[in-house]
Amino acid sequence: MVPPGSVTVMIEDCLARIEKGDAAAVDQLIDRAYERLVLVTERIVGSMVSGHKGLRASDVFQESYLRLRNALLKDNVRPQTAGEFMGLASRHIRFQVLDMLRATKRMTVEAVPDVAQPSHADDNSEMWICFFEAFELLSEDERSVAELLWMWVEGEGKAAAVPNLTQNEVAEILNITRDRVKDLWRNAKLKIARKCKDFDPGSGSI
């Protein structure tokens, strides 16, 4: 099992090298965080509608990888810490999922404009769109905590080797107290629940 602390050390080592102009460190950074990034993607896509047409974890990961790589090459948005990198990675994966969900929705409506759309029981993609959009309603601090606690969680099988982050670890990564993490996490959950009418996105417990 790879301790979360060692993951952050590896990430920050690569970030320091990127800052010194080591271009190869960009790909090495994403490679070193590969398990986490794949897990985050599978965590998000896998917990949605089973077999959602047009939305595959592999597609999301590939496009998110490119977005993240491009962002790391831009000096004005380059993360300086492991927490910032993990937040940036989560954000690009979330953006990609949203783009794909919206595109799939548009294609479905255009293909069958006179056919009644699936109900929430059949297709909860509308609620997932609401959920991911709700992150933009959070303050920067709330969003940082929510992204780390909800998205960077453990899974099964190969993902079991990549442990989830605890509130204590998130506090250390963000350099704030655990009580502050708890308060921000509570506020984030309330805002998302209000917007999405208590929609439950699964493990990660919003």
Q: How confident is the model over 64-74, as a mean pLDDT?
A: 81
Q: How confident is the model at residue 158 (pLDDT cuts 50, 70, 90)?
A: very low
* CA 108 remoteness from chain centre: 25
Q: How confident is the model over 169-193, as a mean pLDDT?
A: 93
The set of residues, in sequence order, having a beta carbon less than 8 Å from that of 66 and lying 6+ positions away, is none
First to last CA, the chain: 26
What is the per-residue pLDDT across 29-65, written as a single tens digit (0 to 9) for each?
A: 887 666 666 776 676 666 554 445 556 767 777 887 7
Domain ranges for the chain, please list them: 4-195
Give me the pLDDT at residue 73, please: 79
Residue 165 has pLDDT above 70, yes or no: yes
Q: How confident is the model at residue 177 (pLDDT cuts 50, 70, 90)?
A: very high
| pTM higher than 0.75 | no
- Say if residues 26 and 191 touch (Cβ distance below 8 Å): no
What is the per-residue pLDDT across 81-139, written as a single tens digit (0 to 9) for each?
A: 888 888 888 888 788 778 877 877 766 555 555 544 444 444 567 887 888 899 999 99
Residue 149 has pLDDT above 60, yes or no: yes
